[in-house]
Amino acid sequence: MSSGAKAAFFLPSNPFSSGSIGTTGAEFLQIPTGARVPAMGGVAAASVEGADALFWNPAGLARLQPEDPSEIDMGYDSLLQTTYEGSASYALPLSNGGVLGAGLLYFSQAPQTAYDNTGNSVGNFTPYDMAMNISYAQHWKSLLIGGGLNIIRSQIDNAQAATAALNLGVQALHITDVGNRPVDLGASITNLGPPIQVGNVASPLPTEIRGGFIWHLSDILNAGMDVVADSNQAPYLSVGLESVFKSDDISGALRLGYNQSYARGINGLSGIAGGGGLDIGKFRIDYAWVPFGLLGVTNRLDITLRF
């Protein structure tokens, strides 16, 4: 709420702890985009790449080379109950080694019933949240640096709100070897900006800081881990594996992960995630399966086109 926001840093009271749960707004910004990252338990800091990197770590855009084709990435997530989320991202490699990106994130749910102050129904409304992003990343030797701006908008019935936030990130490629196999490092801070005010209530954004690595164990197996600090919960770990199989015309991937945050306060099967992908020429499709115990299962489908 407005009384809990620290104006200098745009953080809630007791940030990065369990005491800040439920104190931030625009939490749709933390719904995973793409399907590769969710299937790996949320491992993203060092491994995310191309158009999929916009809302995770914009530095990953610069993994695209100047000779690479442009990418457009489209995703849909069937969330719990009657909520859903969609995303679209575009990445354009430039001749100077930089990559320009743009994206849209949309979150909504089934129509809700509106009531007046006497408890009588006065019709329906459909709440929604949206973020538009523009980003740029540059490849310099083994270092990738990126930044982006989110324009955020929310609407609940007749109440509307808007704000802006920065996403900043870095990736270091082959920073060292472990067991004669290369390791990449990455770090990012996302959703850094002033509070969003809906009606008379101002809430800080869900700022997220993450750092991690991806270890290329072999030509077909990657292992990664992220340490994540969200301003609206206690820090947590994400770990994931990705096995990639390639041939001349087609490649595929199987993924498995665990996210400590997914399992908090949920009974039943939760925390784990899985999925896979298929890459054929200019077309790639990825899928992620993430269970949330008794609450149900989310399914993420993502399609990438290169041109």
The CATH number for 286's domain is 2.40.160.60
Segment 150-159 shows an average pLDDT of 86
Within 13 Å of residue 5, how many CA atoms lie on the same side as its CB?
A: 21
Segment 295-300 shows an average pLDDT of 85
pLDDT in tens, 257-266: 999 998 887 8
Share of the chain above pLDDT 70, in %: 92
Segment 290-307 shows an average pLDDT of 89
Segment 230-257 shows an average pLDDT of 94
What pLDDT sits at residue 13? 77
Which DSSP helix (H) or strand (E) runs through 37? helix 36-39
Q: Given a cut of 60, is residue 221 above it in pLDDT?
A: yes
Looking at the 3D structure of the chain, how many domains does it have?
Answer: 1
What pLDDT sits at residue 111? 65
Confidence bin at 247 (pLDDT 50/70/90): confident
Least confident of 78-92, 94-108, 254-268: 78-92
Q: Given a cut of 80, is residue 1 above it in pLDDT?
A: no
Segment 191-204 shows an average pLDDT of 87
pLDDT in tens, 22-33: 788 888 898 878
What pLDDT sits at residue 6? 44
- Between these two residues, 34 and 199, which has the higher pLDDT value? 34
Q: Is 83 exposed, middle or buried (0-12, 13-18, 19+ CB in 10 A)?
A: middle
Segment 190-196 shows an average pLDDT of 93
Q: Which domain holds residue 73?
A: 2-306
Confidence bin at 238 (pLDDT 50/70/90): very high
Segment 110-117 shows an average pLDDT of 67
Predicted structure pTM score: 0.88
Cα separation, 123 vs 100, whole angstroms: 43
What pLDDT sits at residue 78? 74
Confidence bin at 279 (pLDDT 50/70/90): very high
What pLDDT sits at residue 32? 77
Cα separation, 164 vs 288, whole angstroms: 29
Cα separation, 204 vs 29, whole angstroms: 12
The secondary structure of 233-261 as a DSSP string is S--EEEEEEEEEEE-SSEEEEEEEEEEGG
Which DSSP helix (H) or strand (E) runs through 186? strand 181-192
Q: Given a cut of 90, is residue 7 above it in pLDDT?
A: no
How is residue 220 written in tokens?
């077909």
